[in-house]
């Protein structure tokens, strides 16, 4: 019989499904709940169990992990009579791996503490590929003892796992991460259009650029998206729009200027307004193409 903690996983989307499956591969017992029946079937086929409700999923869990799109969804699954806090046992550890506002994480930790439930905010970076390959970067906020208890679980999901400070700190670092990623993607997109319009072989150019100081994880992960105009969502523009709102609001609160980030936030918002919100964030290239006179529909 396994002595590993029992895990409840809430939210089985593009990131959540492969992450939950990696825990199953690592030997954990995982009960999952999500709104999409096909995602529950996928979890069951991978060796997990499908729960009929949040309450059913978390009732016997030692650890509850959540991975949902934004603060409203976290609040919806955490609070209320059918939520996590009313149904998880005292002493359980709640690890929220969603990307939400720092204040939402702070408020959740406070409310959970009143129920005897420990909380970590633990958003991730690495996209769908990082989730599948279990090489995510995980930035954590919370108490050291809870981080130490969670570390074996997190090590089944990622490679770079860091306690960044108290509750909300993980979300603050994730906001900074999303700022850097968006600016990087935008710069890469502009370089792609510049190179193409200059008549340079794009594959050769991106290969040599990625071997020097201009190289980045973004370029490594997204260069095929750029070359093939393949914008199947690994991380949707809609979600990056949400994240850019988080970082610009948080920066305003602490008095930090984001001159370049603010421009890129507007470019992300513009792309979303033009109907591209469901595409991968590498589709920022489409915005540069439009500004550069590419044919409509390019």
Active site residues: 174
Report yes or no: 206 and 230 within 8 Å, Cβ to Cβ: no
The rounded distance, in Å, linking the Cα atoms of 42 and 32 is 10
The rounded distance, in Å, linking the Cα atoms of 213 and 176 is 21
E strand or H helix at 285: helix 284-291
The rounded distance, in Å, linking the Cα atoms of 202 and 195 is 7
**229's tokens:** 């105009």
User: CA dist 258 to 100, 112, 185, 204, Å?
Assistant: 19, 33, 16, 33
- DSSP code, position 36: -
Pairing state between β 136-141 and 124-125: antiparallel
Scan for tokens 């590993």, then name that residue: 4
| Three-state DSSP class for residue 119 | strand
**Residue 236 backbone dihedrals phi, psi, to 5 degrees:** -75, 150
**Residue 26 backbone dihedrals phi, psi, to 5 degrees:** -80, 0
């Amino acid at each position: 019989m396994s002595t590993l903690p029992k895990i409840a996983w809430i939210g089985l989307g593009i990131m959540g499904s492969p992450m939950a499956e990696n825990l199953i591969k690592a030997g954990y017992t995982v009960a999952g709940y999500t709104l999409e029946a096909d995602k529950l079937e996928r979890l069951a086929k991978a060796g997990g169990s499908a729960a009929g409700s949040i309450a059913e999923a978390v009732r016997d869990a030692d650890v509850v992990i959540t991975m949902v799109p934004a603060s409203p969804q976290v609040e919806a699954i955490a609070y209320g009579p059918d939520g996590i806090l009313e149904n998880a046992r005292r002493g359980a550890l709640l690890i929220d791996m969603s990307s939400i506002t720092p204040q939402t994480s702070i408020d959740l930790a406070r409310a959970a503490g009143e129920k005897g439930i420990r909380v970590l905010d633990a958003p991730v970076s690495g996209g769908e590929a990082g989730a599948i390959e279990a090489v995510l970067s995980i930035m954590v906020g919370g108490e050291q003892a809870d981080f130490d208890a969670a570390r074996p679980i997190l090590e089944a999901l990622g490679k770079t796992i860091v306690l960044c400070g108290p509750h909300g700190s993980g979300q603050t670092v994730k906001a900074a991460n999303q700022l850097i990623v968006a600016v990087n993607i935008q710069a890469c997109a502009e370089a792609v259009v510049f190179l193409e319009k200059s008549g340079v072989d794009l594959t050769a150019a991106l290969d040599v650029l990625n071997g020097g100081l201009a190289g980045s994880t973004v370029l490594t992960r997204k260069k095929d998206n750029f070359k093939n105009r393949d914008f199947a969502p690994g991380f949707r523009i809609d979600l990056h729009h949400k994240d850019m709102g988080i970082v610009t609001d948080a920066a305003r609160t602490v008095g930090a200027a984001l001159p370049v980030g603010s421009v890129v936030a507007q470019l992300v918002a513009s792309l979303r307004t033009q109907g591209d919100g469901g595409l991968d964030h590498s589709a920022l290239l489409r915005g540069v193409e439009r500004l550069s006179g590419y044919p409509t529909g390019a």
